[in-house]
Amino acid sequence: MRTIAFLIPALLLAACSQPASPPEPAADAPPPMTGATPAEAAASTTPDAVAAPQAAAEHAKDVAAAPADASSPVEPAADDARARIETLLGDAAQYEKVFNAFKAAVVAGDRPAVVEEVRFPLNISGGKKITGPGEFQRNYEKIITPAVVKAVSAQEFGKAFVNQQGVMIGDGQVWLNGQCLDKACTRTEVKVITIQ
């Protein structure tokens, strides 16, 4: 009984301790986006039919596992996604601009504007790819489903899930990521890379 009385405070202390935050990247570190060619960039950073649901499941598990502490705010700070993007992916303002343009186009049903925010080949559900704007337009209703519209319209940029694969909208219905436009990766382009 005496051992239990000793262990309980030790276990409570261990459970309440916070892990050390990860070190900041070096100031001269290269941007996190890789791939000198579009094919290399797509192959190395595009979430596939397996990875996207796994990331969505990880996100849901992280949210469910978060402790409900009355002293901490329930809502995450509005710039949480921005900070994660800056750390993992690069220029958060560029991601936010594409996110807002894509969301406005999807909600308005503006097909040409939706196409402007998409990188081809576009990954879609079932591990398939859409090769260009014409094929996208012909299959628009099959790609931009009511579930996709609902997920996009409900998503707030500051609360988006972010990992090395990009920015996730909803539960993995849409992914955005950047691509280097030159070998030094001094210029990048953010686009929608997956819709499922």
Instruction: Please state, in angstroms and rounded to a whole number, the distance separating the CA atoms of residues 11 and 182.
Output: 52
pLDDT on residue 176:
97
Of 57-61, 99-103, 186-190, where does mean pLDDT reach its minimum? 57-61
Identify the helix (H) or strand (E) that includes residue 95: helix 92-108
Q: How far apart are CA 169 and CA 159, in angstroms?
A: 9
pLDDT over 60 (residue 98): yes
Which pLDDT value is given to residue 185? 86
| pLDDT score of 162 | 96
User: Which residue is associated with the tokens 């807002």?
Assistant: 100
SS (H, E, C) 133-175: HHHHHHCHHHHCCHHHHHHHHHCCHHHCEEECCEEEECCCCEE
On the CB side of 162, CA atoms within 13 Å amount to 24
pLDDT at 74 over 50: no
7-54 tens-digit pLDDT: 565 555 555 555 554 455 444 444 454 444 444 444 444 455 445 555
* The pLDDT of residue 94: 96
- Contact present, 126 and 50 (Cβ < 8 Å): no
* Tokens linked to 181: 């436009």
> What is the per-residue pLDDT for 39?
41
pLDDT tens per residue across span 134-145: 999 999 999 999
CA torsion 78-76-150-110 (nearest 10°) is 10
Any idea which of 41-45, 113-117, 184-188 has the lowest mean pLDDT? 41-45
Q: Note whether 104 and 96 are within 8 A (CB).
A: no
Share of the chain above pLDDT 70, in %: 60
- Residues 174/195, Cβ–Cβ less than 8 Å: yes
pLDDT at 159 over 70: yes
